[in-house]
Amino acid sequence: MHPAPRKLDQEPLSDEDLVGRAADGDRWARGVLYDRHASALAGTVARTLGHHDTALDLVHDAFLYAFEHLGDLRDPSRFRGWLFQIALSRTRTWLRRQRIRRAIGFVSSIEDSTLEMLSGPDASPEARAELRAIDRALRRLSVDERLAWALRRVEGCSMGEVASHCGWSLSTAKRRYNSADRRMTAILARGGAER
């Protein structure tokens, strides 16, 4: 049996401690892990996808998977990175499916709700147009290039974090980011007209 949740004046439990408790079925510990990481993860996934509601679904699925497989996590102190890998793997799969849906005409572009989240409710028409151009350009990248570029340029992750979040080597992350950055620069310079 686990002790009661900590009082407000005590130091917060580390992810490592919470993972141990959550692996033993402690619902409070799972809730704290969710509260601690869900918002940042949902923001990253939403900005990568351009679909806010889908991002929330993917993050929820990632947490469910993580909680069911806590025993697979070798180093509980690395829970956040492991959770990002799970969520971004699901994001990668979703993006690949969207590419197919888009090719056959089932999907158009960035959702208005996500556009507002990214630009803010008071954004100028020019700022919104620029975000739509970036979305069109991102859709022309491979899924892995899109993830690398979004994590680095939108989320501000270091290359080491990009590699860790995606489960890639550092050299693979750099290669995918550099390729994406060159293509994004070229596409945007042409006004988003690359084929």
pLDDT digits (tens, 9 = 90+) for 104-126: 655 555 444 444 445 556 667 78
Q: For residue 5, is it within any domain? A: no
Whether the Cβ atoms of residue 85 and residue 91 lie closer than 8 Å to each other? no
Residues 147-160 have a mean pLDDT of: 90
Count CB neighbours of 94 within 10 A.
20
Average pLDDT estimate for 159-179: 94
The C-alpha angle with vertex 56 and arms to 14 and 97, in degrees rounded to 5, equals: 120
Claim to verify: residue 18 and residue 102 sit in the same structural domain: yes
DSSP 75: -
Q: What is the pLDDT of residue 192?
A: 53
Please give the backbone phi and psi of residue 17, each rounded to the nearest 5 degrees, phi first.
Answer: -65, -45
User: pLDDT at position 189, please?
Assistant: 85
pLDDT value of position 56: 93
The sign of the CA dihedral 86, 88, 89, 93 is positive
Average pLDDT for the chain? 83
* Confidence band, pLDDT 50/70/90 cuts, at residue 6: low
Residue listed under structure tokens 């899924």: 143
Question: Do 102 and 69 belong together in one domain?
Answer: yes
CATH code where residue 82 lies: 1.10.1740.10
| pLDDT the model gives residue 96 | 82
Domain of residue 192 covers: 111-195
- Answering whether pTM is above 0.75, one says no
Please give the distance of CA 154 from its chain centroid, rounded to a whole number: 11
Q: Count of domains in the chain?
A: 2
The CA distance from 149 to 29, in Å, is 33
Of 92, 108, 124, at which residue does a domain stop? 108
Tell whether 96 and 120 lie within a shared domain.
no
Q: Please check whether residues 94 and 117 belong to one and the same domain.
A: no
